[in-house]
A and B are shown apart, each in its own frame.
Chain A
Amino acid sequence: MKHELTCIVCPRGCLIQLVKDEEHYICTGNQCKRGEVYAIQEVTEPRRMFTTTVQIVGSKLSRCPVVSSSAIRKEDIFKIRDILDGLVIHAPIQVNDIIVENILGTGIHIIASRSIKKDA
Chain B
Amino acid sequence: MRHVKCVVIGGGSAGLAAAIQLKKYNIDCLLLEKEDVLGGILNQCIHNGFGLTRFKEELTGPSYAERLVSEFHDLGIEFELDSTVIKLNSDKSIEYINPKGVHKIQAESIVLALGARERTRGNIMIPGDRSVGVWTAGSAQKYLNIDGYCVGKRVFILGSGDIGLIMARRMTIAKAKVVGVAEIMPYSNGLTRNLVQCLYDYDIPLYLSTTITRINGNGRVQSIELSRVDENLKPISGTEFNIEVDTVLLSVGLIPDNIITENAGIEMDPRTKGPKINQYYETSIPGIFACGNGLHIHDVVDFVSEEGDMVAKSVERYLNQLGKSDLSIPVNSDSNFIYVLPQTIDKSQAVKLKFRVKRPLKNVKLVIRTKDEIIMTLPKTQLLPAELEMITLPLPLIDKIQDEVRLEIIA
Contacts and interface: CB of A to CB of B under 8 A. Distances in A.
A51 B148 contact: no
Contacts of A52: 46, 173-174
Interface residues of A, number: 25
Nearest to A63: B148
A67 B64 CA distance: 13
Contacts of B52: 10
A63 B146 contact: yes
Given A11-B300, A49-B48, A52-B173, A6 B148 contact: no
Contact of A8 (B47, B148, B197): B197
A53 to B, nearest CB: 6
A111 to B, nearest CB: 10
B201 A11 contact: no
Contacts of B300: 11
B408 interface: no
A53 B148 CA distance: 8
Contacts of A6: 192-193, 195-196
Nearest to B300: A11
Given A51-B46, A55-B148, A114 B66 contact: yes
Contacts of A10: 52, 193
A30 interface: no
Interface in B202-260: none
B60 A51 contact: yes
Contacts of A61: 146
B346 interface: no
B387 interface: yes
Interface of A: 6-11, 13, 48-49, 51-53, 55, 61-63, 65, 67, 74, 77, 81, 95, 113-115
11 contacts: A11-B300, A49-B48, A49-B58, A52-B173, A53-B145, A55-B148, A63-B145, A63-B147, A65-B62, A81-B173, A113-B46
